[in-house]
Structure 1
Amino acid sequence: MKMVLLAILTGFIAGFIFALFKLPIPAPPAFAGVAGIIGIYLGFKAYAWVQPMIESMMK
């Protein structure tokens, strides 16, 4: 949980600095983009969960 809070804090500070200097944000500008990133992460985790089953079927 500490890592998540530090990541959020770091992202907040970076976003604030980008806005301060009127630079484009280095992240998806819409919630749909953020949802896509979350989907990629969840897909990666799902594969790690089913990988042992896939490998056992291949033997």
Structure 2
Amino acid sequence: MSSSCIEEVSVPDDNWYRIANELLSRADITINGSAPSDIRVKNPDFFKRFLQDGSL
């Protein structure tokens, strides 16, 4: 059993991910990065929802 409650999830290679990654990188935020300010994404559909709804 892992001591971490965060599972490693592969991120999709699609336009939703690329756009979200570009926008977040401008704020020095890495998707599934190791910094405290980085965002952890467990659901690959997050990127589409984030961009369509405009809010986290």
Q: TM-score, normalised by structure 1?
A: 0.27
Higher RCO (C-alpha 8 Å, min separation 6): 2
> Could you say which structure has the larger radius of gyration?
1
Greater share of residues in helix:
1
Q: TM-score, normalised by structure 2?
A: 0.28
